[in-house]
Structure 1
Amino acid sequence: MRVKVVAGGAIAVASPFAATEFLDDPAATAARFRDGYFLSGDVGAQASGGTIAITGWRS
């Protein structure tokens, strides 16, 4: 599993075992998937050591 913090502090998650789209919902897919990552809705920050702290949530 790969996790990263992207623009605006959004937490993005990718895994070869995770979904890659919402079934029959291209609008939701476009809103929540970017470059192979799922935007979880969680917000956080990544420390220099790689640890990610979740600080909030947004829809």
Structure 2
Amino acid sequence: MSMVKLRERVERGKVKKKCCKDNPRCKSCPVVAHRLKKQGALKLDDAALAKALKKARKW
């Protein structure tokens, strides 16, 4: 998934309904979306968003 699609999906709130709690969490997980919003990562460029996504999925 490209960073543009990820950014659009999280901003619109198009994430899964329930978290699967896998490790690492999937990109469409509501927990990952919340962590990205909390970090303010959606306003960053693509490289910084990729790094923030990696951290949000492992955390």
Which entry has the higher C-alpha Rg, 1 or 2?
1
TM-score, normalisation: structure 1: 0.28
Higher helix share: 2
TM-score, normalisation: structure 2: 0.28
